[in-house]
Amino acid sequence: MATVNLPGGFQLTSIILTMTGMQWYLLFNMIGGARSVPSDLIEASRTYRLKSWGRWRQLLLPAMLPSFVTGSITAWGGGWNALVVSEYVIFAGESKSVLGIGALLDKAAYEQGSISLLLITIVVMSITIVALNRLFWRRLYRIVLSRYRIDY
């Protein structure tokens, strides 16, 4: 809550909390992607004398890209959950909130007890998530898998 007094105030706090909730999905998928690169391809990159940056650029980053997209999709989903927690916080008896769907969900459930507002917010959030998944993430995932999947 120390960031509340900084420029950006509670919005900065909300962004930090949301990103903290999202980063682990991405990190662990990237680690898994790096570990899944076959050792014979790494050995071949050494045989062709690729330096460390060349090995990253030519082998590791392209091989990790499907894991990066998977981690991004998962982090995006985790971010929706983190929004509910990060946009509306009660600290030391004082409630802080930013304008967003997470705060609206919290206010509908805890402050107002409005079932209709809660249901409308959940429906809007669900439609948004499904639309983004179908229009962006699914297409990106297919493109990345078709170009960067390691099959041999």
pLDDT in tens, 72-101: 999 999 998 888 888 877 778 777 778 888
Average pLDDT score over residue span 47-76: 91
Average pLDDT score over residue span 2-29: 83
Q: Which pLDDT score is estimated for 87?
A: 81
Residue 55, Cα to own-chain centre: how many angstroms? 27
CATH code given to domain 9-148? 1.10.3720.10
pLDDT in tens, 94-132: 777 788 888 888 888 877 888 898 899 889 989 999 999
89 forms beta bridges with: 96
